[in-house]
Each structure stands twice: as structure tokens, then as C-alpha cells.
Structure 1
Amino acid sequence: MPYHVIYDGNCNLCVTLVQQLENLDKGQLFTYIPMQDPQALTQFGVTPQDCELGMIVIDAGNPQRRWQGSDAAEEIGRLLPAGYVFVEAYRALPGLKWAGDRFYEQIRDNRYTIFGKRSSTYQSTYPSACSNNTCG
């Protein structure tokens, strides 16, 4: 799998978006790690404090390449079929990237209040091998 997505497995919005991405991608480009899996996070040098800044996308082939927050959402969009065109258009419109970043931050910081918190952590249909204590 070329990319690992670290998401909040307790956030209703985050889980819904991961489920939509799972349905669209079918595990071809992305595998998933809930930020509630400290052993998997440790393998990437990701801390719980890092996770507070939003979802993270890690290039499995080059784990030093990573995106976080709204940049991670854009990278996911860019990697999806025909998504590149939309992401580039979004980035090219003056002020839209800035507004999108602020919007992401507001949702991130208030996600449980707005969308609710799950009673158990969602485990993806396409987990990263790192979720099982071995990266691959």
C-alpha cells in the first residue's frame, strides 16, 4: 500500500470519511491506522500530540514524506482518480486554501462537539500492517 492514513477512530465524522474512502479506494492506495493505536504510531514516530493537529498521511515508500491536517486531506484528494484537477483548482483560487485551512482547524478542534464521539474505536476494513505490529 503506498499510503497510510492516520485518523481519529473515535470521531464520527472522521470514521464516516474513512468509510467513504474505503468504499471508493478498496484498499488500493490507502491503509488506515486509528490514532488510538499507540504501537502503530510509534513505528512512524508519531505522538498523541502530533495527532491533535489532525489526520496524517504517510508515504509508505518514503515514511519521511508526510502530510497533516488540511494538507493531508488535499493529498488524499490529489491521489484519487481525477482528484488532482480539483485540488489544483482549489489551491489556485486566491484565498481558498487559507479559508480551507481555517475551516479544517475549526472542524478538527470541535469534531466531538459537532459530530459526536464513538463509544469504541473504528477499525478499518483495510488496516495498515503497522496496526498489527509489523509495517509493510
Structure 2
Amino acid sequence: MGSRRKQAEEERREKLIVLYDGTCNLCLASVRRLKELQSTAILRFIPVQSLEDTYETIPELSAVTEDQLLTKMHVVEMDGTVHAGAAGVVRILRTVRGWRWLAPLYRVPGLRGVADLLYRIIAGRRYEWFGRSDESCHEGVCALPKRD
């Protein structure tokens, strides 16, 4: 009976898909940290570079190019709502215990613009400031070179 209750709770939990740059050291560190935090939602993290390799279909992003996806993090809700950049970060924070209090600040006049600007500046310089991981490595797993 306990496992059925747990399964029912899991089915009711909100599900969010988080698309991020899998070669960005800042992005990788942020995803690692988010995985450690307690979220009320089920967060599924997918590197943009691996999107084609997953079985995930996200119709809301079908018209968005990979280059556009790489400019900022995208958070997709199960109802199709897409949050990008700072709005995506805020959407995730709304589900994380101990950090929820930050989310309403995004609605304060003027703070949204500041948050969006800071996000764009950091995202635009993320490789320069934080470096880039090997493109053949995602989530700690590296692809082996193909043999001839």
C-alpha cells in the first residue's frame, strides 16, 4: 500500500524539463547543485547537445534552433509553457525548498529587467569567465573515440 501511495504522489508531482548547455562549466555546476537541492518538482535535465539522442519530444521547442537553445537555459512545463533565461531560473527556484522566497522578487517592478540583463551578460560571457568542458563529455561521461 505504501508503494502505491508513493507512486501516486510521484504522478501528482510537477514535472519540468530543463534544457541547458552541456559544454558550459557554469551550467554543469549549476545543474549539479540543483540536483542536490530538494525540489517539489521532478526536474529532468537535458543538455541541448544531447537533445537529439533522447526520446524526449518537446513540441513547444520544435521551431527553436539549437543555437537559440544554447543562448539561454529553457525550462518547459508539462502544459507546454516555456521559461527561458532568468525566467527559467526563477521557475525552478519556485520549486526548491529554501529558495522559493526569491521567486516573487522577479515580479517586483525593475528587478525583472535587472535579472534578465544580468542573465544575458553572464550567459554571453560564460565560456570566457567559467570555461568550457570537452564537448564529448556530458554529465561526467565522455564518449570514446571511434575506431577505424
Q: Which amino acid aligns with 1:35?
A: V
CA gap of 1:85–1:34, structure 2 versus 1, over 3 A, is same
How far did 1:79 drift? 1.8
Greater radius of gyration (CA): 2
SS of residue in 2 equivalent to 1:9: coil
Q: TM-score, normalization: structure 1?
A: 0.76
Once the two structures are superposed, residues 90-115 of structure 1 have per-residue CA deviations (whole angstroms, 9 ceiling, x without a partner) of 432x4222111111001111110110
Q: Which runs of 5+ in 2 are unaligned?
A: 1-13, 141-148
| Moved segments of 4+, more than 3 Å | 25-28
Q: CA RMSD in A?
A: 2.6
Q: TM-score, normalization: structure 2?
A: 0.71
* Aligned match of 1:53: 71
Q: Which runs of 5+ in 1 are unaligned?
A: 125-136
* Aligned match of 2:46: 33
In the alignment of these two chains, the number of paired residues is: 122
**Structure with greater contact order relative to length (CA < 8 Å, sep ≥ 6):** 1
Once the two structures are superposed, residues 25-60 of structure 1 have per-residue CA deviations (whole angstroms, 9 ceiling, x without a partner) of 47952011001014149822242033133001111x
Alignment check: 8 A CA contact 2:38 2:97 kept: no
* Aligned match of 1:75: 91
Alignment check: 8 A CA contact 2:24 2:132 kept: yes
Alignment check: 8 A CA contact 1:9 1:35 kept: yes
Distance in structure 1 (CA, Å) of the matches to 2:69 and 2:85: 9
How far did 1:116 drift? 0.2
